[in-house]
Structure 1
């Protein structure tokens, strides 16, 4: 446990709370938090998690832009949308194959710990982050699974504050899904 881990954790909580409320300022909080986590995960040999957080840095910038200007009309804020069941099943299948491939490489050619599990959470988190940046409702379901698996990894690596953070993330992902779903259903009812 370190001061940097505590700062990253607090900023990560701020990020998720702001994201639940669809507040644009979630992205700067995410940027700083992930910068810290990129370094921390590299230091404890969670190489895929470190790479994932480097990706999050880029997505924080993209998410800011997408939420602010990604609507159908020029310079309109993005609205919550859904992929639907069939598209999500296809996505899960493809991401699972990619995860297994990365897991094999990490297990056989690097010193990475938890190679397959770390690859799974990383690959799915990459796509879930894209979904969040596009305000796709189901991103929260992906995050619930990713967060639960991540809790185990972080406890095993002695990153206890980060494990607590992911417990909080899991609860907030449930809350966010409910809130975004209500907004999505309300919009669908209004449109119909």
Structure 2
């Protein structure tokens, strides 16, 4: 226990200012998402751009690619939420059967494709975990952009595996951030479920 605590403290001390900034922006993003505020997107884009740089340095190539995807999906989500001025924003709702099929395809087909790419074209030492964390997060972000309640479930599957992966790669504050995101996502799911049930009623 003392050894783990020592390693954790040493990694906290070694955390760069850029990583701290990315973590703070990431916390702000998830709190805005839980509150159902569209401002989550510009905040998230800023956090993501910093994260891409840091993850590339840590040789987490699939997570870096995931963050590029986050930027694209954030722009798409931002537009999808706001749409045109004279149109109402998209409402929170539950995923349909077709959306679940797409979600599962993104998760499992994406996992396989990313794994192959990591093994063949990168020096990744954690291709299975890196690919799984990224593919499930891809699926979660797709659902988030469409304002589906289940986005929180997929994002938390990704978070659960990302916590030890990031710690292993000495990105300790990213690991702590992911733990915070995991907890907030539980509350986000509960809140969005209430909203969706209200909209349905």
Match of 1:81 among 90, 93, 99: 93
Q: Once the 2 structures are TM-superposed, how far is the Cα of residue 126 of structure 1 from its aligned partner? A: 1.6
Indicate the larger mover: 100-109 or 144-153: 100-109
Q: Once the 2 structures are TM-superposed, how far is the Cα of residue 181 of structure 1 from its aligned partner? A: 0.1
Aligned to 1:41: 55
* Aligned residues of 1:104 and 1:116 also touching (Cα < 8 A): no
Deviations 1:128-168 (A, max 9, x none): 11210110110100011100100011010011100000000
Q: TM-score, normalised by structure 2?
A: 0.86
* Aligned residues of 2:150 and 2:189 also touching (Cα < 8 A): yes
1:140 corresponds to 2:152: yes
Match of 1:56 among 70, 76, 91: 70
Alignment of 1:116-135 (within 5 A): 116-135=128-147
* Aligned residues of 2:62 and 2:114 also touching (Cα < 8 A): no
SS in 2 for 1:81: coil
Aligned to 1:11: 25
Q: Once the 2 structures are TM-superposed, how far is the Cα of residue 93 of structure 1 from its aligned partner? A: 5.3
SS in 1 for 2:42: helix
Aligned length: 187
Q: What's the Cα RMSD here?
A: 1.9
Q: Distance in 1 between matches of 2:181 and 2:55?
A: 18
Distance 1:11 1:117, change over 3 A: same
Unaligned runs of 5+ in 2: 1-14
SS in 2 for 1:79: coil
Q: Distance in 2 between matches of 1:84 and 1:164?
A: 33
* Aligned residues of 1:128 and 1:142 also touching (Cα < 8 A): yes
Q: Distance in 2 between matches of 1:90 and 1:22?
A: 24
Distance 1:52 1:87, change over 3 A: closer
Aligned to 2:124: 112
Q: Once the 2 structures are TM-superposed, how far is the Cα of residue 109 of structure 1 from its aligned partner? A: 3.2
Match of 2:112 among 80, 87, 100: 100
Q: Once the 2 structures are TM-superposed, how far is the Cα of residue 102 of structure 1 from its aligned partner? A: 2.0
Aligned to 2:193: 181
Q: TM-score, normalised by structure 1?
A: 0.90
Match of 1:160 among 147, 168, 172: 172
* Aligned residues of 2:83 and 2:89 also touching (Cα < 8 A): yes
Runs of 4+ with deviation above 3 angstroms = 84-87
Distance 1:86 1:77, change over 3 A: closer
